[in-house]
């Protein structure tokens, strides 16, 4: 379906010349992968068809690169925005990084630990927890259904660039930290966990680095997403598509709304915008 107040006046789907190269950015969780963290067959086939037509397929996710290496290999994707824009790779080469402020992070970690709230430090290769074990970490990470689980290294933040930190606390408990630590943005992704990111970083900023390098015009840029961390991306990319399973606030900023991930939403959305034939 389409947003009636935004595009129904056009009367039809976008008319695209499918021989022109476009770049399409896909979120992972709730967009490429369903709620069981499985890749629907229709999505897989649609991705390969896009590539066959000469389009550039990219990923834009809050995940770390090591959390979706298998998915990139399965789909043959080597251009991606990780950590909500803090680690950007184009054609297998690092294009842009935006690390966290370490002194501020060190102070936040001390305050969090005094309240029995753990953190997990993350760079492009691994993630390490500042405590040996904690129920909040176990429950949150388990929901991602990934093989990686953070081992214990409270000093992992020293001498390296970190692009994201996971802060584990119940909903609402992050508010005092948001007030005190202005270097960071706090984005909740689980009832017990919040992403800590450099202030002002977003998928949109990471995408901007890629499209500048590729020199693909705005009308040939597409993005699919479903989560709150997709708001900036769907607001800034000209041809934005919200999944049917997205929250209403996410649908409100997108140009199009497709079906849910469980109902072949990617295939439907690509047909809707004219990148694939029905």
pLDDT in tens, 125-182: 999 999 999 999 999 999 888 888 999 999 999 999 999 999 999 999 999 999 999 9
Distance of CA 267 to the CA centre of its chain: 19
Q: Where in the chain is the domain with CATH 3.30.1240.10?
A: 102-198
- Determine which one of 27, 123, 185, 230 is catalytic: 27
Q: What is the pLDDT of residue 217?
A: 96
Residues of the chain with pLDDT under 50: 1-18
Q: Where in the chain is the domain with CATH 3.40.50.1000?
A: 8-97+202-272
Stated pTM of the model? 0.87
Looking at domain 8-97+202-272, its CATH architecture is: 3-Layer(aba) Sandwich (3.40)
Task: Kindly report the CATH class assigned to 102-198.
Answer: alpha beta
Is the Cα torsion angle 262, 263, 269, 274 positive or negative in sign? Answer: positive
Q: What is the pLDDT of residue 207?
A: 98
Q: Do the beta carbons of residue 207 and residue 236 sit within 8 Å?
A: yes
| Opening angle at CA 57, ends 52 and 59, nearest 5 | 155
Residue 212: CB partners within 8 Å, gap ≥ 6? none
User: Known catalytic residue: 27?
Assistant: yes
Q: What is the pLDDT of residue 1?
A: 40
Q: What is the pLDDT of residue 19?
A: 55
Q: What is the pLDDT of residue 2?
A: 44
């Amino acid at each position: 379906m389409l947003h009636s107040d935004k595009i129904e006046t056009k009367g039809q789907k976008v008319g695209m010349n499918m021989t022109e190269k476009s770049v399409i950015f896909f979120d992972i969780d709730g967009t490429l992968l369903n709620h069981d963290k499985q890749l629907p067959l229709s999505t897989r086939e649609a991705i390969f068809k896009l590539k066959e037509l000469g389009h550039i397929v990219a990923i834009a996710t809050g995940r770390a690169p090591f959390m979706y290496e298998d998915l990139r290999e399965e789909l043959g994707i080597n251009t991606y925005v990780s950590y909500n824009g803090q680690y950007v790779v184009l054609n297998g080469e690092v294009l842009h990084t935006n690390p966290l402020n370490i002194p501020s992070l060190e102070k936040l970690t001390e305050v969090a630990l005094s309240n029995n709230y753990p953190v997990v430090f993350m760079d492009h290769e691994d993630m390490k927890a500042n405590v040996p074990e904690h129920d909040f970490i176990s429950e949150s990470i388990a929901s991602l259904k990934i093989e990686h689980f953070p081992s214990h290294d409270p000093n992992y933040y020293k001498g390296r660039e970190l692009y994201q930190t996971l802060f584990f606390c119940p909903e609402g408990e992050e508010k005092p930290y948001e007030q005190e630590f202005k270097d960071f943005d706090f984005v909740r992704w689980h009832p017990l966990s919040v992403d800590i990111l450099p202030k002002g970083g977003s998928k949109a900023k990471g995408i901007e680095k890629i499209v500048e390098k590729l020199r693909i015009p705005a009308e040939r840029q597409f993005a699919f997403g479903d989560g709150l961390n997709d708001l900036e991306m769907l607001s800034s990319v000209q041809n934005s598509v919200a999944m049917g399973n997205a929250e209403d606030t996410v649908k409100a900023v997108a140009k199009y709304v497709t079906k849910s991930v469980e109902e072949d939403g990617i295939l439907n959305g690509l047909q809707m915008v004219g990148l694939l034939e029905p």
